[in-house]
Amino acid sequence: MDIHGCKGCFGGHGKKECPCVQKDDMAQIYPAVRDCDVIVLASPLYYWTMSGQLRTALDRLFALEEGDGNLLRGNGKSSALLMAAEGHGFEDAVLYYDHLMEHLRWENLGHVLAGGNMDVGDIKGKSEIQQAFDLGKSIQ
């Protein structure tokens, strides 16, 4: 998707159809986030954290916190985190995710962190596939 970085202009307004002053593919994400109950964040581990692509989209969600009434925080939403990596250094990513959940007041449904995966197909047959399935199934 074509998603540009947040400019930090504080010009957004959550209740507008397109809450951000920038017009790009976030126009598809804002209504989806407004309407959903559960948000699954999925990312490879890039330099000990979530990918820049995902982080950029998360920064842009800030527009939903602007204006009269915060449309991002709380609102009965919950979230889960799915990650894959070559190694196992997920600590910083999980710390960031936990802070995000705390700030957004979304219920943290947990995470599945699949280390030891470099090449396409490495994850086949590993227990994390079942864990992700079980996590999905546990969401009502």
Ligand X SMILES: Cc1cc2nc3c(=O)[nH]c(=O)nc-3n(C[C@H](O)[C@H](O)[C@H](O)COP(=O)(O)O)c2cc1C
Give me the residues that bind ligand X (CB under 6 A), please.
44-48, 84-87, 89, 117-118
Q: Judge whether 38 and 78 are in contact, CB under 8 Å.
A: yes
CB of 1 to ligand X, least distance (A): 16
Pick 89 or 136: Cβ nearer ligand X? 89
Angstrom distance (rounded) from CA 73 to CA 46: 26
User: Considering only CA atoms, which of 47, 42, 134 is closest in space to residue 97?
Assistant: 42
Pick 35 or 119: Cβ nearer ligand X? 119
Pick 92 or 102: Cβ nearer ligand X? 92
CB of 91 to ligand X, least distance (A): 11
Angstrom distance (rounded) from CA 119 to CA 85: 10
Q: Which residues contact 138 (CB under 8 A, 6 or more apart)?
A: 109
CB of 17 to ligand X, least distance (A): 32
CB of 22 to ligand X, least distance (A): 25
Side chain identity at 110, as an amino acid letter? Answer: G
Pick 66 or 128: Cβ nearer ligand X? 128
